[in-house]
Structure 1
Amino acid sequence: MHHPQPSSADVAVIGLGVMGSNLARNLARNGFATAVHNRSPHKAQELLSTYGAEGTLIACEDLTAVVAVLPRPRRIVLMVPAGDPTDALLNELVPLLSPGDIVVDGGNAHFTDTQRRESALTHRGIHFVGAGISGGEEGALHGPAIMAGGSETAYVSVRPLLEKIAAKVDGRPCCARVGPGGAGHFVKMVHNGIEYADMQLIAETYDLHRRVLDVPPQRIGEIFAQWNHGPLNSYLVEITAEVLSHTDLATGHAFVDVVRDSAGMKGTGGWTVQTALDLACPVPTIAESVLARSLSATSGLREAGALLPQSPRPAPPLPTTDDFSEDTRLALHASKLVAYAQGFDLITAAATAYGWDVDLATLARIWRGGCIIRAGLLDDMTNAYAAPARSRLPLLTATPFREALAEAQLPWRRIIGIAAAHGVPIPAMSASLAYYDSLRADRLPAALLQAQRDYFGAHGYQRVDRPGVFHTDWSGARTEGAA
């Protein structure tokens, strides 16, 4: 029997790919009448016919129908590809809207695009919320982490929707307004940059076990499963254990051995590194992780690299598996702390540059559930940033992290030495240690760099014993004067 569709919806979702469809279902499951529309109209009908029993879904054939079914102020969530497709949709949608309406962009937009769009829509009296949504397709359906940007006024209107569908930890939603303008998408971008680093560090730890001690994937999966009950507890460690324990049904081989070793990217990792360069904020662990993915996909270079001399294999004895695993556990933990700290430092740099007031304690709290980088270590990060006296100090100096870094000192260095001796590339883990050593060094070789720059380009240098900028006449009498 045909039931007529309701005449009014609480919210609309436009863009019914996997993420959009699951987010619409999440809204409907949580009691919100949800209008749905896709460029291919049949997708809306398919969603309604397949999942209509989960809640109220209203299929709309065009944007006019979407606008008509929503009471003012209208709340519309866009889940379309970033870039030109988002602009094209807004060009069609915005003329149909009224002042006070709210558009939420839940895609992975570049934060500068979000700021441009918010400015343009504000002039028309329309609110624009750039919302970073993390958790993949499962998170979109069962509860993601949501990082919203935009005005307070807009957030007040969409907050009940977003908080209701977000993941919950300790009864609190993993959802917050993190700042104005493009802050939400910026924070989501950095989240993804940390995700790149976390995944690369885990992959390097797997590779070390495999290539140094020839530990089979199933056993490495068991090791990760054990680690997931301790300080390394996280979603990524959990799924790593499952992946490594999986056997390919077609061949009977370890699943990881039948997957090509060429990793793809969708842009947010590169955006993170480029933005860090623009802000002069060092994120070497994240950068090396992005570059490692790029290198994995450069088949021509790697084919040529096979002709290069192989590294010598060190003579026995090798460490026992238990000793080696404990060292890599501590090295992984320390490296992950460094990667997360770099991400938070980048957010701090952006907040200063763009005038955002980002509450890092709130951010760490909402990352504890729903998102891909959710991890136990975020509990301590939440507490560290919540302490007023600590909020302005580097994250790694907080007591639990300082203690973890102290415990990892010798194992961290041993593992990197073993990797170098065996020719096992661990760029992210090595970058983490180099970053840590650079932070704690009382003097860096940048003094020589400054002297070199002055020699070939007369760029000048500063001295340690008196103020000012100086230049040495390198091609003449080598006298020093003001630059």
Structure 2
Amino acid sequence: MPVAAQPCDIGFVGAGVMGKNLIMNLVDNGFRVIAFDLDQSKLEALQAQDDAERGDSPPRVLTCNSYTDLLASLSAPHLIVVSVPAGSPVDDVCHKLVDAGLQADDIVVDTGNSLWTDTQRRETEYEGQFILFSTAVSGGEVGARFGPSLMPSGDPYAWTRIKPMWEAIAAKVDPDTGKPIERKAPGEVVAKGEPCAAYIGPSGSGHYVKMVHNGIEYADMQLICEAYQVMRDALAMSASEIAAVFRRWNEGLLNSYLIEISAEVLDTVDAETGAPLVEMILDKAGQKGTGLWTAVSSLELGCPAPTIAEAVYARSISTLKDQRVKAASLLAGPDFDKPSAEQRDSLIDQLHDALYCAKICAYAQGFDLMRTAAKEQGWTLNYGEIAKIWRAGCIIRAVFLQSIADAYERNEELENLLLDQYFAEQISSNQRNWRKAVANASLWGVPVAALSSALSYYDAYRTAVLPANLLQGQRDYFGAHAFERVDKPRGKKYHVEWSDPARPMTRLK
């Protein structure tokens, strides 16, 4: 594999699932790519895929044997994408590229699921050696191949270099309908529509936004799963019946990729047993950490995101399979009469509205978290633009995101989605069914931690006087932590000598 005779536009380190598909997307759009991977079999698979897709056309993908050859095959200043697992592998590649001759004006783009603080640390560490840029990628294997949602951040100059490529390969949205323009065949190019790629901001901001995207994804998936469990366990519906409900929901307000694939999963039959495949899948959920990172960030910032956190906890409790099996025979649940067939339709309608309202709250939590982090970090984020680039290409893509984009177009300074008139009206008109669905699930003994946490979040957010006054009294009683008064200026702190019958009050500085 010799050095390219003509300079390539962009180089790749890593030809695994994501790297390979991003490369094929780039060559579909006319860019010259050279790839390097320590695993020779991955380069062979990449070339084999190019051979299969290009037909009689000349080879579109070049590969090489070393970092040195990679740099020698690129136009200067070099533009290199790193598509390797997050963490130490990214730093290892960066160090080896520097050893191979990387220059100060060369650009290295991390497209992995890196923790945003690692990205900030790397920008400082490698300053003067090369320009570190990052692009968070959402959409999985299919998105990478046919149009992902891209969240780039870092050096503005680096963005000008890579912007034409990223906008070309990104998913596209019809600007009139807000719906994705589908591209599913190799070699196709979608030149029209709005690209789901936009510069997010300074170093770390893109990966932070992607992290929150994944946290919302956790919540969205868990909400759907809870609706499924209510229909399965309380309404005694079959997998195919639930799939039909999801398909109907997908035609309206809940139209989304996750609802669509949930219906397909539920309708798939196991080839070995003839049973619904979903019933043969062990109920132990995995996770790669981004949902956890989001929940931890919300706690660190003091920005409530309970529905995202409950979605993480739901995956954790699912891993306690053996304990849950023991508990099922020991711990009693409520006695209840299963709903009649005549009641089913109205109960399904309640679930629909509950899922919709809880989804609004989950997204409100995610966007509030981004807003809080931006204030903490000094970032200027365009939340309407973020909603727009999530309309296609990513896992949480949905028509619902157009409404979020519209909300931020109405008010760029919107503090919380729940304060937008449209979303306030949506919850107001649907909350009765939401409350009924959560109450019924509780009476039936069906766990709906995400649906109910979203409802509690909504009720707490709309409550002018919370019981934190008592909590502050408790804290002052046992720890002299002091409190503010409703009839005094904010910021003034007071303490009571609770053990003194006269209870003299002291104002603290």
TM-score, normalised to structure 2's length? Answer: 0.91
Q: Is residue 2:123 matched to residue 1:118?
A: yes
Q: Could you tell me how far apart the structure 2 residues matched to 1:166 and 1:407 are?
A: 36
Q: Secondary structure at the match of 1:36?
A: strand
Q: What do residues 292-340 of structure 1 show as CA deviations (whole Å, max 9, x unaligned)?
A: 0011012354244234422122236546221111110000000001101
Cα distance in 1 for partners of 2:363, 2:430 equals 16
* Residue 328 (structure 1) aligns with: 351
Asked if the contact 1:220–1:244 (Cα under 8 Å) also holds between the matched residues in 2, the reply is yes
Partner in structure 2 of residue 347 of structure 1: 370
Gaps (5+ residues) in structure 2? 175-192
- Partners of 1:198 and 1:394 in 2: CA distance: 18
Partner of 1:46: 45
For the residues of structure 1 that align with 2:173 and 2:267, how far apart are their CA atoms? 28
Alpha-carbon separation, structure 2, partners of 1:345 and 1:3:
51
Q: Secondary structure at the match of 1:476?
A: coil
Deviation string, structure 1 residues 152-192 (Cα, Å, up to 9, x no partner): 11100010111111000020100011111100100000000
Alpha-carbon distance in structure 2 between the residues aligned to 1:162 and 1:80: 18
- Please name the residue that 1:443 is paired with: 465
**Of 385, 391, 398, the match for 1:375:** 398
For residues 8-407 of structure 1, the aligned pairs below 5 Å read 8-52=7-51, 54=54, 56-95=60-99, 96-124=101-129, 126-170=130-174, 171-315=193-337, 318=340, 320-387=343-410, 389=411, 391-407=413-429
Aligned residue identity for 1:280: G
The 1:316–1:261 alpha-carbon spacing in structure 2 relative to 1, beyond 3 Å, is closer
Three-state SS of the structure 2 residue aligned to 1:131 is strand
Confirm or deny that 1:479 pairs with 2:478. Answer: no
Contact 1:390 1:398 in 2 (8 A): no
Q: Secondary structure at the match of 2:68?
A: helix
| Amino acid in the other structure paired with 1:356 | W
Structure 1: segments with no counterpart, 5+ residues: none
Partners of 2:346 and 2:82 in 1: CA distance: 50
Query: Is 2:235–2:339's contact at 8 Å kept on the other side of the alignment?
Result: no
Conserved in 2, the CA contact under 8 Å of 1:111 and 1:182?
Answer: yes
1:51 and 1:480 map into 2 onto residues whose CA distance is: 78
Q: Hey, what's the Cα distance between the residues in 2 that align with 1:42 and 1:393?
A: 50
Q: Distance in 2 between matches of 1:304 and 1:441?
A: 40
Whether the 8 Å contact between 1:419 and 1:425 is mirrored in structure 2 is yes
Q: How many residues align?
A: 480
Structure 1 residue 396 displacement after superposition? 1.7
Between the aligned partners of 2:367 and 2:115, the Cα distance in structure 1 is 18
Percent identical: 44
The alignment status of 1:463 with 2:485, answered yes or no, reads yes
Aligned-partner residue type, residue 60 of structure 2: T
SS in 2 for 1:128: strand
**Alignment RMSD (CA, Å):** 1.6
CA contact (8 A) 2:82 2:111 kept: yes
1:439-470 alpha-carbon deviations (Å, 9 max, x no partner): 11121111111111111111001111113211
What secondary structure does 1:129 align onto?
A: strand
Q: For residue 395 of structure 1, report the CA deviation from its aligned partner.
A: 1.1
User: Do 1:6 and 1:58's aligned partners in 2 also have CA atoms closer than 8 Å?
Assistant: no
Q: Aligned partners of 2:145, 2:338: CA distance in 1, in Å?
A: 51
